[in-house]
Every structure is written in C-alpha cells, then in structure tokens.
C-alpha cells in the first residue's frame, strides 16, 4: 500500500468539491435567483455576470483536481498494477472526468452565447422569451440540460473517489486477491 499522499489527495478532493459545488450552486442558486429578476434583460445579465466571476475558480478547481488525480495514479501505480477493481475504477473515473470537463466547457460556451444575447431578455435564465433569437433560444435549451449534467457527472466522480478510498484499506487489498 502506498504511503500517505495528503497533499495530492487533498488537491484531488478539494478540486472536485469546488467543481461539483460550484456547478450545483450555479444551477440552483445563481440561475434560479437570476430567473426571478423582474426585468427580462436582467435575468440573463445577472446570470452571465455571476458565471463570468466563477469561471476562473472553476478552471482552477478542474486543474487542481486533475493534478491531484494524476498524482494519485502515479503514487498508486503499484496497487493499480495488481488490483483489477482499482484499475477499472480509475478508468471509469478518467472517462467521466473527461466527459465532465467537456460538459463544463460546452456549458461555458453556451453561457457565453447567452451573455452575448442578454439584451434580448428571456422568460428565465434557461427559458427563452417571445423575443429571443434562435441563437439565444438554442443556447438556453442547451444550458437547461448542461447545468444539471455536470453536477451529476462530478457527483458520480465523488462517489467513485470514495470507492477508491475503500479499496485502499488494508483489508480491501487482501480480499481482492482471493
């Protein structure tokens, strides 16, 4: 079993916590609150401003998580070489991390298109209004789905990380060799 990896494990976990929590708070809190603005133009403007302020933190969280994840793979290469369950979990986590990064990027691009059309106003943050252009409506429809996909993917990654922690317990290694 590998030695302690407190720094890289903390980077992995704190990065994921910020990524998950920021996405969920944005979908529920920021987009929900902005949708309640009385002025239809303010709905998209407030949401866009909030997401723009969060974007650098989101990028940092993803980078920190990625560095921590890579560090954990390197530090656990011996265990991963002998523990099929650990390799499987790592492969699934890697695929889901790439998918979550993709949905985060896609969501950011859709949000940028929404910000560009904020002056058109909207029924809600992710609901087009009667005066919304096709470009705005398309971006809002995408965002309506993407705002939930990323927290779901990152939530699953948190569960898989917990599962990997269980695999590293001394007894888990003995049971997996039988």
Given the structure tokens 């990380």, which residue do they identify?
161
pLDDT at position 175: 57
Nearest Cα residue to 7 out of 80, 74, 103: 74
Nearest Cα residue to 75 out of 136, 143, 12: 12
- The model's pTM is 0.88
Torsion of CA 163, 17, 27, 60, to 10 degrees: -130
Token representation of residue 37: 């603005």
Report the C-alpha gap between 26 and 55 in whole angstroms. 11
Encode pLDDT of 113-135 as tens digits: 999 999 999 999 999 998 899 99
Checking if the pLDDT of 1 tops 50, the result is no
Token representation of residue 142: 């995408």
Q: On the CB side of 42, how many CA atoms lie within 13 Å of its CA? A: 8
Is there a contact between 150 and 101 (Cβ–Cβ < 8 Å)? Answer: no
Encode pLDDT of 34-75 as tens digits: 999 999 999 999 999 999 999 999 999 999 999 999 999 999
Average pLDDT in the 152-160 region? 97
Checking if the pLDDT of 32 tops 50, the result is yes
Residues in the chain: 178
pLDDT at position 169: 67
pLDDT at position 178: 53
At 146, is the pLDDT very low, low, confident or very high (cuts 50, 70, 90)? very high
């Amino acid at each position: 079993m590998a030695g302690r990896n407190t720094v890289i494990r903390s980077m992995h976990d704190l990065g994921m916590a910020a990524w998950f929590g920021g996405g969920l708070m944005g979908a529920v809190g920021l987009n929900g609150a902005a949708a309640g603005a009385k002025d239809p133009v303010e709905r998209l403007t407030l949401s866009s401003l909030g997401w723009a302020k969060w974007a650098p933190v989101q990028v940092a969280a993803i980078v920190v998580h990625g560095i921590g994840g890579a560090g954990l793979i390197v530090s656990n290469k011996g265990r991963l070489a002998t523990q099929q369950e650990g390799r499987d979990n790592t492969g699934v986590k890697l695929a889901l991390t790439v998918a979550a990064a993709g949905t985060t990027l896609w969501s950011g691009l859709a949000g940028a298109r929404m910000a560009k059309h904020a002056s058109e106003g909207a029924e809600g943050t992710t609901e087009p209004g009667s005066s919304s252009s096709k470009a705005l409506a398309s971006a809002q429809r995408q965002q309506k789905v993407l705002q939930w996909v990323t927290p779901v993917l990152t939530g699953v990654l948190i569960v898989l990380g917990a599962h990997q922690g269980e695999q590293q317990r001394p007894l888990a290694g003995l049971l997996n060799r039988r």
